[in-house]
Amino acid sequence: LSVNIFLGAKLYLNSAESDDRNDVYRNMVNFTRVLEQVRHHYVDADKVLYPDLIDGALKGMLSQLDPHSEYMDPKRFQTMQTDTRGEFGGIGIVVSMRNGVLTIVSPMDDSPSAKAGLLSGDQIVAIKGKTTERMTLPDAVELLRGPVGQKVTFTVRRPSTNVRRDVTLARAIITVSTVRDINLKGEFKLIDGENKIGYLRINQFGERTADELESALRKLDHQGIK
């Protein structure tokens, strides 16, 4: 009887403790108390606005799960959707930060940037009158992208001549291919005609990756790839 009472009490206490941990309202009270303490007593009031605190809490919560779980605010979620669709309004350039300078990696074929004569290595020093000196790459990309047909003005410096010029381009629909050949195009020619060897590269995944992969394989198949 004593053993039964002891085990029963232990099971009851464990169950009660588990219920406390899973009680959403009780835990939300604790979260709200901490939120209010930080909001009203932190030394720098500009850094503890409610939207910022909640966003930080949500990001921290999701980061505890696994490397593939992440909280996205509406702005970042929209950017992710644009990237996976592989189609957006822009000027058609691939950019990166090189030694802290926003640099054009390559203009896309038949894009507004290619038609304007922009070259790989050109540096974008200002966008819409704002210097890019301390601008992050995502912020720069956001300024360059926008509604199709609307114009964007930016300043380009060519290192070989040290000449600066303002460029104004109308944004067009830019389609990004996720499957490319060895020349980063869509020709998919055999790289070894004698041994019938082909090559393709999936550089990122998007909504059209499966269709683009099938199309590339068909082109190679028509050439007798082995």
C-alpha 30, offset from chain centre: 34
pLDDT of residue 151: 94
Q: How far apart are CA 124 and CA 122, in angstroms?
A: 7
At 17 the pLDDT is 57
pLDDT in the model for residue 152:
94
Tens-level pLDDT at each residue, the chain (226 residues): 666 776 676 766 666 555 666 788 888 888 999 999 999 999 888 888 898 899 899 989 988 898 888 888 887 787 777 767 766 788 988 899 998 899 999 888 788 999 999 999 999 999 999 999 988 888 898 899 888 899 999 999 999 999 999 999 999 988 878 898 888 778 899 988 789 999 999 987 888 899 999 999 999 999 999 9
At 122 the pLDDT is 95
Task: Round to whole Å and give the CA distance between 116 and 113.
Answer: 5
Residue 13 pLDDT:
60
| Gyration radius (Cα) of the chain, Å | 27
pTM of the full structure: 0.56
The pLDDT value recorded for residue 106 is 86
